[in-house]
Amino acid sequence: MSPQKSTLPKKKMKFIDRKLDEGMGKAVARRTYLRRVEDEKTGRERWERWPEVAERVARGNTALVKNFKGVGKKHMEEEYKLLKKHISNASMLMSGRHLQHGDETQPERNMEVFTNCSTASSSFILFYLLMNGSGVGRAYDDDMCVVDWDNMPNVRCVIDTDHPDFEWGADESVRDAKHKYGENGRIHWFEVPDSREGWGQAVEMIEMMAFEKKFKDDMLILDFSKVRPKGSPIKGMQDRPSSGPKPLMNAIAKLCTVKGAGMSPWKQAMFVDHYLAECVLVGGARRSARIATKSWTDPEIFDFINIKRGGFLWSANNSVAVDDKFWKQRTNHAKKVLEAIMEASYKDGTGEPGFINQHRLVQNDDGYDGYQDGKYAESEKYKPMKRSEVMLAKLARNAGAKVYAQIPNPCGEISLNMLGGYCVIGDVVPYYCPTLDDAEEAFRAMARALIRVNSMDCLYSREVKRTNRIGVGMTGIHEFAWNMFGYAFRDVIDEEKAKDFWMTLARFKRAVVEEAEEYSKKLGVTVPHTNTTIKPSGTISKLFALTEGAHLPSMREYIRWVQYRSDDPMVKKYEKKGYPIKELKSYQGSTAVGFPTQPLICRIGMNGELVTAGEATPEEQYKWLMLLEKYWIVGVDEEGNSLEEDTGNQVSYTLKYDPKKVSYKAFAEMVRKYQGEVKCCSVMPQQDTTAYEYQPEQPVTTSEFMRVLNEIEKDENLLEDIDYEHLKCESGACPI
């Protein structure tokens, strides 16, 4: 049944320049998205203003219209005005990658820079995607780990003595290496290019030689002399400083320790990928967000469940891929696996490993067989070596033979082909829309904007063309429910009471489905296989102090503590203006400055009806998730019947429980009852941080909050700050 089109507004929404939230919002924006620009009046450098961000991001996205035939400048200009209006108003918030990189150069850039997350089936592609700032998911199933790293060559990293980063006594010089190893049929030299692609090729060389099993006794020498030194500007990262060649040289040295360690290929791959991810994180400006999955039926699944216990391999969140057979618990193996997962998750206090319900992820295999030529991972910027196609083809055959070939991205909100795919996502904020018609306009505009992103050059262009997958999400949902309908959290989980709210979300879902279909046909591209989602939206939502994605607010009021060096002159400036200051004994030479912070939802007059994450029961939160999946992810028609085809992705949600109040028995009962009923959900214990001297966020009472606020002398020239601790996803899935 085709979704019925809703009536669009007769009056156009007014153009509003939404102000970033004072304090945290501005601090987040400066730390992550705003650029330094020259002021036209004074000629001095200053931070961008939010309308200027809207201007360049809208220009960048709509410039992609030229990638399609049959749509011209008129359409481009109409879309530009619409995007600029909604982004300025904050009723449309493109993903953080768009806010950071979006401008008129977007059509010439690779899509990886504008995608949040992805999947990969080999180590060199995973590494390349991480370097592009993408969070990466990988399936470590036995049949998806086809490289035995015991067969890798002996690897040496060398660098010229003239290179600024060369260290005497620590590095091997090119001159010494040539004298020592010479050149013959068993010695292979590779000069590493100074680019992301070059670094990817270096890892690709090692992985391919290991896969081919012919070079175990050979030597591969990687020459890093051409890689720019530490501190050099990276043009594609707004001139942020380069890490230099050392992080990768060190990572490869660690990677080589896998050889001869007697591990199964899947376990080897987990260590290799961890060392490469560490290297990316050391680079500073990029994150290292990963999810590692393994099928519950694999023989060594118990090793996977326990592999992180004790604090190892921290760069990935681990989840076991399960299905409906698993949840029916009819075999002893299934029972033992479930018990082992719950034991590790609860008793280690980590929430890991989690569960991925593969049978509930949307999978559409149209056109999938063509990948068996091994050419599904190549772009204009990066083309794997010809010899790599053999390995990639084998992976495609193995994936094609699986019942379930989909896994989620690290944050869990998008269903992706485990061979490779991207999260192309953005948020709508219906709370900032004057009417429901304005909100529907924003949802439709976001669907079109994301489809345009899929026209960019990328490594997985075949998969993108095959699926055209997008994820239209929303944030500030709780504010919207209260503002438009007068419903607090416990009202909305009463399905009958809040029927008008849920049917409104269903209306927006149908609008996205319809717009995705109509716009795709207009552009001559595949109708998106999936279209709606809810992402974590942590950093983006902080710009306007909104509740993040589907999550409840963690606290009503809190002090946001930011660490500074004690001799930083800013400390005295903050202290003089009345901000709370504390000298940290655990971190010598460090001082923390406190900034009073209050989410928007605490300022909109909810009359004591606000529910925080710690106050909602697990059962209430599971009910919330199920309703979101019913009305927004899957969708219903105007009579309340489920849409014929599920075109939704997932809701990224971290359900917190208090282990002091929830016993292991109650936890196990909760998991058995609810976890198999939703597509994805991270179940994490609440951490008691009161024993720590430095807490990034310290909860306070309303009276304490107001006391601190009243003691501060406002100064427009003294801006609040934020550090990276506050920008991490709640689940830890996407650390920056």
Q: Are residues 127 and 110 in the same domain?
A: no
Residue 4: pLDDT band by 50, 70, 90 thresholds?
very low
CB within 8 A of 293, min separation 6: which ones?
A: 137, 138, 139, 140, 141, 318, 319, 320, 321, 356, 407
**pLDDT of res. 725:** 64
Confidence of residue 8 (pLDDT cuts 50, 70, 90): very low
Is 732's pLDDT higher than 70? no
31: left (phi over 0), alpha (psi -120 to 50) or beta: alpha
Domain contains 680: no
Which amino acid is present at 303? D
Least confident stretch, 18-32, 77-91, 230-244: 230-244
My answer on whether 138 and 266 are in the same domain is yes
**pLDDT for 189:** 96
The pLDDT value recorded for residue 715 is 80
Cα–Cα–Cα angle for 360, 364, 370, nearest 5°?
A: 140
**Local confidence band at 588 (pLDDT 50, 70, 90 cut-offs):** confident
SS3 444: helix
Rounded distance between C-alpha atoms, residue 706 and residue 697, angstroms? 16
How confident is the model at residue 127, as a pLDDT? Answer: 96
Average pLDDT, stretch 670-682? Answer: 95
The answer on pLDDT for 208 being more than 70 is yes
Neighbours of 163 (CB within 10 A): 19
186 shares its domain with 285: yes
Residue 602, domain member (yes or no): no
Asked if residue 664 belongs to a domain, the reply is: no
Return the percentage of the chain with pLDDT > 70, whole number: 93
Please indicate, yes or no, whether residues 111 and 140 belong to a single structural domain of this protein.
no
87 and 185 together in one domain: no
Average confidence (pLDDT) over 153-172: 95
Q: Residue 704 belongs to a domain with what CATH number?
A: 3.90.1390.10
254, 320: one domain:
yes
Residue 706 token pair: 């107001």
Does 674 fall in a domain? no
Last residue of a domain, one of 391, 410, 429: 410
Of 350, 379, 410, at which residue does a domain stop? 410
Structural domain count, the chain: 3
Q: Are residues 587 and 625 in the same domain?
A: no
Residue 471 and residue 562 in one domain:
no
CATH no. for residue 529? 3.20.70.20
Is the predicted pLDDT of residue 286 greater than 80, yes or no?
no
The pLDDT of residue 615: 92
Nearest to 246 by CA among 286, 283, 193: 283
Whether 420 is covered by a domain: the verdict is yes
Strands 425-428 and 92-94: antiparallel
Q: Which domain holds residue 363?
A: 117-410
pLDDT over 70 at 187, yes or no? yes
Q: How many residues does the chain have?
A: 736
Mean pLDDT for the stretch of residues 529-557: 94
Question: What's the predicted TM-score (pTM) here?
Answer: 0.92
Range 37-45 average pLDDT: 90
User: Same domain for 289 and 423?
Assistant: no
Using one digit for the tens of pLDDT, what is the confidence trace for 126-162? 999 999 888 999 999 999 999 999 999 999 999 999 9
Structural domain includes residue 13 = yes
- State mean pLDDT over 627-646: 97
Is the Cβ–Cβ distance between 545 and 29 less than 8 Å?
Answer: no
Residue 266 shares a structural domain with residue 300: yes
User: What is the helix (H) or strand (E) element at residue 564, kind and residue range?
Assistant: strand 558-565
* Residues 529 and 568 placed together within one structural domain of the fold: no
Among the ranges given (145-154, 242-251, 673-682), the one the predictor scored with the smallest mean pLDDT? 242-251
Compute φ and ψ for 653, nearest 5 degrees.
-145, 135
Domain boundary among 387, 410, 433: 410
Please, which residues have CB within 8 angstroms of residue 660's CB and are 6 or more apart in sequence? 688
DSSP secondary structure letter of residue 85: H
Residue 240: per-residue pLDDT: 62
Bridge-based pairing state of the strands 117-120 and 92-94 = unpaired
Mean pLDDT (whole number) for 278-300: 78
Residue 663 lies in a domain: no
Contact 578, 600 (CB under 8 A): no
CATH number at residue 216: 3.30.1620.10
Q: For residue 310, tell me if it sits in a domain.
A: yes
Instruction: Give the H or E element holding residue 563.
Output: strand 558-565
Residues 485 and 632 in one domain: yes
Lowest mean pLDDT among 123-127, 236-240, 376-380, 431-435: 236-240
> Residues 582, 718: contact at Cβ < 8 Å?
no
